[in-house]
Structure 1
Amino acid sequence: MAADRHTYRITGGVPLRGTVEASGAKNAVTKELVATLLTDEPCTLHGVPRILEVDLVLGMLAELGTEVTWLGEHTVRVHTPKVANTSLSSAYSGVNRIPILMMGPLLHRRGETVVPLPGGCTIGKRPIDFHLEGLHQMGADIVDRPGSVKVTATRLTGAHVHLPFPSVGATENLLLAAALAKGTTVISNAAVEPEVVDLVLMLQKMGALITIDTDRTLTISGVEELRGVEHHTVADRIEIASFAAAAVATDGRIEVRGARQDHLITFLNALRHIGGEFTETENGLEFFRGRPLTATDIETGVHPGFMTDWQQPITVLLTQADGTSVVHETIYEDRFGYAEQLSRSMGADIELTTRCLGATACRWHNRDFQHTAKINGPTQLKAADLVIPDLRAGFGYVLAALVADGTSTISGTRYLERGYEEPVAKLAAVGARITTQPA
């Protein structure tokens, strides 16, 4: 991970008011860029956010032989007429999880690949067992190497793969592998997040045959070839929820253009339980506080449940709510690391426990992971010097600074900028008192 370009200085206590434009979803567009490797024809993607994560993926593609041309601020054309390299350099080892998604496309194009083992934010182990087992069932030969994995296949063939957990990454990996495989692939217990569906829509435009059943089953009939595509990526529902939480927490009013209610149903219900409200506008959704904030209980889950990436801004919002709230994290075992700084440095009253305090025991039950938070509020947060530990905690810290008394300094901003496009400019546009200084 590159060093910070700058740190943020945020003075809190100002209601945020105004309009922001939702960026394209990081969790969709990065996978869709990988999908372009499945064809030797040009592909044009619209709504591409200018974020560090996109820069990383485009760098990986260029290393493999992809021609990258920006046609506009948020439109990029990528074309891989020939895969020049089947392996990524060690520079991408541990950077993010995108390289493992390249296995299927590179096997189809060249029959082999060596990809570095994944990295990304420190929020849990996120193993790739499901990915490798699925590819093995499809006929891939897999050899572990120090820091990487070598995968070869003469031709991938269809298989029935049951995922023990509806992993987004594993589902996407198998989709990319199955699109050109011989025969039919069935993925049961698959992830069906909007970003996964957006990838399916893009692949379908390219000529893939994919059906999504109501029981989390994806059926892919392999085709001989895929063609180029023009596709507009879906809006980022994590960024949208972040600005919604900011509007409610600061008692302001923010319109997010491009926001879609159908992608936010569970979030909007939780927001309303707390005291937030929304209204539909001509261009998106507007968020505001509808009544005094009150405590609630939230449990993260796979879609259509409450998204794990919504958990951090909601937890900060709940520090301003009256009563005791419970947030039970069931997706990642180590996602509350950011809470220590909120409590120790900013005065939040957050207690972490290894117990499951949700409706049911989750897969981290009786294991030594602090995956449940009890938040007592309301608490007047005080300004502090904060260090962002991971991407989604980053906006949580920004939101905490926006409601805190005084001026906070936030470093580790490179993590936040992996997934949020122009966060300083967007926050300033709705009235945040935020400036940057060289790191």
Structure 2
Amino acid sequence: MAEHFRVNGGARLTGEIQVVGAKNSVLKLMAAALLAEGTTTLTNCPEILDVPLMADVLRSLGCEVRIDGATVEITAPAQPNEAADYRSVSKLRASVCVLGPLVARCRRAVVPLPGGDAIGSRPLDMHANGLRKLGAHTEISHGKVVAHAEDLKGAQIWLDFPSMGATENILMAAVLAEGTTVIDNAAREPEIVDLCRMLQQMGAKIEGSGSSTLTVHGVTSLQPTQHRVIGDRIVGATWAFAAAMTRGEVTVHGVDPHHLELVLDKLRTAGADTSTTDDSFTVAMAERPRAVDFVTLPYPGFATDLQPMAIALSAVAEGTSMITENVFEARFRFVDEMIRLGADARTDGHHAVVRGVERLSSAPVWASDIRAGAGLVLAGLCADGSSEVWDVEHIDRGYPRFVENLRELGADVSRVTSEPDR
């Protein structure tokens, strides 16, 4: 027996919704708590499956972790364990971000290669090379990343690609290194800024937050802190696409609309009306969306996490759209499931061409990752009849109260337990 979502199409989503902390931030902030002995408290945390999974990783390293709704308390020991538990690490990709803090605190780390979504190759070479520049000896062998260092010293580090994970690991190691580290071509995502802000609250000296160059002046120790997790722009954007696809009107609270300027601009091009405040935005669509082209790029470009939503929108838009994927090569696996739902789509290398149809067709489909699952549910809202979206544990890893939120906006969606029939 397994759970799936039953999605009945035809509803127009309307109303207001509150977005909580970002999945892509909270897991890294939890890892950063390893950098200071004592209790660090995170608030506005999303109640998603990945948070307790990350808590298990930290417990395997000797931390005490208490989760109480949207609050997570992490008490790091004076000397964390240097080796992370394989079973815990294998369940989520973000677990690799304990590598930098462990090298910084323990001068040694053993982290099994992490698991996570099947969206393509995400090698750890840049993580390892950055730590080597800081003075650590690193190797990847027998399914583990092993790093050790007598001392960490500041260095000039250039990233071949503005990888969030590599930026985070190098940054968290550099804050306790001797001297000054400069990270060029660093990731610029709001979640990186959130991590910098928390590290600064802990006593780190970081310059250039939000830019492509981070300058870190190492300190000898950090102190625990209390920090509010930034709102989840990917979840917020998902609701924006849902409003546009269903010709509805949704106001999203708890997200900085400046983090979604490109997304909102694309939706306006598609025909939506948008308005913003300091921490909310509204998307309203009266007619069938117009076709828009999308190209995924690191921030401030269009986020790869929103590529499935872009394809879902294109599938019901008037006209033909081209979606170009520049970050994760396997993300187009999602297109095969969209075709099950009646989408007129084909892929060629890094490109997908989608010719919009007036209405999709109901079908059983399977989610291959968090965002693909959300995109399939949105597509199901625009299909005739009742669709089934399986492997919903992926969606639960990234979207708190997903079904409940959809129902509050007027969608006919329910969680069902039954035997899958592939």
Q: When the two structures are superposed, what TM-score results if normalisation uses the length of structure 1?
A: 0.92
Deviations 1:263-302 (A, max 9, x none): 1001111111111222235862121115542112111111
Residue 373 (structure 2) aligned to one of 353, 370, 394: 394
Offset at 1:422? 1.2
Q: Hey, what does 1:376 align to over in structure 2?
A: 355
Offset at 1:99? 3.2
Offset at 1:379? 3.7
Residue 50 (structure 1) aligned to one of 42, 47, 51: 47
Gaps of 5+ in 1: 355-370
**For residues 106-121 of structure 1, what are the structure 2 equivalents within 5 Å?**
106-121=102-117
Q: Hey, what does 2:237 align to over in structure 1?
A: 241
Residue 422 (structure 1) aligned to one of 376, 384, 401: 401
Q: State the secondary structure of the residue aligned to 1:103.
A: helix
Q: 1:120 to 1:155 in 2, by over 3 A?
A: same
Letter in 2 for 1:128: L
Residue 9 (structure 2) aligned to one of 12, 25, 28: 12
**For residues 218-257 of structure 1, what are the structure 2 equivalents within 5 Å?**
218-257=214-253
Q: State the secondary structure of the residue aligned to 1:33.
A: helix
Task: Check whether the contact 1:6–1:411 (CA below 8 A) recurs between aligned residues.
Answer: yes
Offset at 1:319? 1.2
Q: Hey, what does 2:58 align to over in structure 1?
A: 61
Q: 1:288 to 1:170 in 2, by over 3 A?
A: same
Offset at 1:108? 2.6
Structure 1: distance between partners of 2:16 and 2:43 = 21
Residue 351 (structure 1) aligned to one of 346, 355, 372: 346
Task: Check whether the contact 1:348–1:379 (CA below 8 A) recurs between aligned residues.
Answer: no
Structure 2: distance between partners of 1:281 and 1:197 = 21
Are 1:183 and 2:179 counterparts?
A: yes
Deviation above 3 Å: which 4+ runs of structure 1?
Answer: none
Q: When the two structures are superposed, what TM-score results if normalisation uses the length of structure 2?
A: 0.96
Residue 152 (structure 1) aligned to one of 148, 152, 156: 148
Structure 2: distance between partners of 1:116 and 1:335 = 24
Task: Check whether the contact 2:21–2:46 (CA below 8 A) recurs between aligned residues.
Answer: yes
Offset at 1:230? 0.9
Structure 2: distance between partners of 1:133 and 1:92 = 25
Offset at 1:212? 0.9
Q: Which moved further from structure 2: 4-13 or 319-328? A: 4-13
Are 1:411 and 2:411 counterparts?
A: no
Offset at 1:380? 1.4
Structure 2: distance between partners of 1:178 and 1:155 = 11
Deviations 1:327-347 (A, max 9, x none): 11111112111101211x211
Task: Check whether the contact 2:107–2:149 (CA below 8 A) recurs between aligned residues.
Answer: yes
Q: Hey, what does 2:203 align to over in structure 1?
A: 207
Residue 74 (structure 1) aligned to one of 64, 70, 73: 70
Identity %: 39
Offset at 1:207? 0.6
Structure 1: distance between partners of 2:278 and 2:8 = 32
Structure 2: distance between partners of 1:5 and 1:285 = 36
Offset at 1:67? 1.4
Q: Hey, what does 1:103 align to over in structure 2?
A: 99
Letter in 2 for 1:67: E
Structure 2: distance between partners of 1:166 and 1:433 = 40
Q: Hey, what does 1:269 align to over in structure 2?
A: 265
Structure 2: distance between partners of 1:246 and 1:326 = 20
Task: Check whether the contact 1:295–1:321 (CA below 8 A) recurs between aligned residues.
Answer: yes
Deviations 1:361-408 (A, max 9, x none): xxxxxxxxxx21111013410111111111110101000111110001
Q: State the secondary structure of the residue aligned to 1:334.
A: helix
